[in-house]
Chain A
């Protein structure tokens, strides 16, 4: 059903095994954060890797998903799965609006329109009262799953996050390898030709955009459940930049690349925190090295060497 190649099936099994084993070795809250960013990067990769659209405004969907999930969980007492779905829903709605405008243009113009719209969302969040301005929405309770299963402990929440991530990952994989995904790839390679074959390319692009935005919203919503906060960091344009960096580092257009990219990126942010300035310096150096030395990203390079599709 998921149309894994042999190499992909093995890589997927390794990834699931690592997700199962990792919390015994590493700090679960850190892993949850990595999984949220991994889902975010996978959603972003769906657009850049398979439709060829570089969105520079994905922070808007991620951040809004985070705000809505935090707000509904805190004020309406929504259970965690509903809060996460609400975040995804808002991401999708914003995606419809942004995508409807943005897909009319390509390349740099597409990136600029998405950036402009996401900055509008950012300033809305700075001003709006429900977001709490620069203080953000704080002390969001970890609401129980389905209203009954308590999520207070880090481990129980970890399994929820892992399930959300794997579901999103498999959904993206399924989309890419469906007939719909084939059309997306055709658009990426040669849009006029896809049009000449009778595909309404705008519709396909819009649907892909909305799917990507919705999954980004889910990722943001899950993150707000993990940390119990939703703040301006998530809607700031630098978040849009970070997701580009994660995807690029792991490998654009590979299924597993964004996951590895998110892991590397999250590790830098966490384990270099004691060294101050070095976080941003290292991120920049890695970005430069990546662009100069291995343009296909870590997984892309590995897959290329081994002659596999990952």
Chain B
């Protein structure tokens, strides 16, 4: 057969169409989820590898593959440097086709990633950062804040503890913006609930290891509650030293995770009062969730930040399945808008919703750490003191100053 130019072009086009057409039919668009967390630093225990495990569990529980969603995960360590975090986020969005970034402990890194997500019109589901600015003056249409924030922690511990009899307070505060904010917010709730703040002492941050003089002042104040407006290793150190001094007052940690309690051990941590939105042994659903996670990661239990990653990933996948993967990838803001419209429901947090400023709403619980005698099994640490319903647990919409909220 003589090969004419037309025949050649025709067959080449047909071959090209056949080659390009086949993979397009076989593959649904990939939904890529990036878990950006602290894998090497102080927040490794509240985020770290378990965050990615929880996100994967959400995809498995949802049955993403059976529903035709092709979900992939990547993870990276932001090293607690906002520039590294923002750099990875940019590269993920620009080059690696990531649609959603999860977790991101450390408020500085989170605020940076939130800005990048908005610029690139992708999605940021933050679960492990404390700053309530993420749904306040720094809110944007591409970010949803899950799990907790400073307002909720201060409110939960402050107001609920006053109601259960802790009417006079003394603060030991880390002398930087985060510590000041926690003290200021908690003071406001203590006063509003009819309690009284007798005094406060600020210690230099970072670098304070000896809390004795601050603890003695707290003891001398005669306040019923000593509030620790600090986080991480400082909280652990100050509570340990409070025990060593034999301080009998109620100790209230304003930002304490179950991994901190696990690290301190019950003999030290017993009696400590704290707020959280998730505890693995809270009800049948959280226990079921924890059992499924335990099959994958036997040694540790999820903290609230981890559970937040599970919950947010599950909610995202539900919306993506409803919209179709291609639609869900097209515009981050549009997908987030759908996520706000759909009520949330999962084993970790139960039924909830996402507000227009990007705040995910779920109940908040006031817990007290058990004594070693009360604890019957591994990780049996908390007993429930009070439940704050979802509509009261978080900052009222109008007070946040989020530009997305039309008054």
Please report A residues at the B interface, Cβ cutoff 8 Å.
Answer: 27, 29-30, 33, 123, 126-127, 132-136, 138-139, 154, 223, 227-229, 231-234, 269-270, 273-277, 279-280
Contact = CB atoms under 8 A, between A and B. Distances in A.
A29 B83 contact: no
Given A133-B176, A269-B79, A269-B84, 11 more contacts: A33-B87, A126-B205, A127-B176, A133-B177, A136-B82, A232-B108, A233-B83, A270-B87, A270-B88, A273-B77, A276-B40
B178 interface: yes
Nearest to A238: B81
27 contacts: A29-B87, A29-B94, A30-B87, A127-B176, A133-B177, A133-B178, A135-B111, A135-B133, A136-B82, A138-B111, A227-B82, A227-B83, A227-B86, A228-B115, A229-B86, A229-B111, A229-B112, A231-B82, A232-B108, A233-B83, A270-B91, A273-B78, A274-B74, A274-B75, A275-B39, A276-B40, A280-B40
Contacts of B39: 275-277
B401 to A, nearest CB: 15
A134 B206 CA distance: 11
Interface of B: 39-40, 49, 74-84, 86-88, 90-91, 94-95, 107-108, 111-112, 115, 131, 133, 138, 175-178, 204-205
Contacts, number: 101
Contacts of B90: 27, 29
A274 B205 CA distance: 30
A35 to B, nearest CB: 13
Given A135-B133, A233-B82, A273 B176 contact: no
Nearest to B131: A135
Contacts of B138: 138-139
Given A127-B175, A132-B177, A134-B176, A276 B77 contact: yes
A270 B90 CA distance: 12
A135 B175 CA distance: 14
B81 A233 contact: yes
Contacts of A280: 40
B115 A231 contact: no
B108 A231 contact: yes
A223 B83 CA distance: 9
A136 B111 CA distance: 9
List of 9 A-B pairs having minimum Cβ-Cβ separation, nearest first: A133-B177, A276-B39, A273-B76, A139-B115, A231-B82, A138-B111, A233-B81, A277-B40, A274-B76
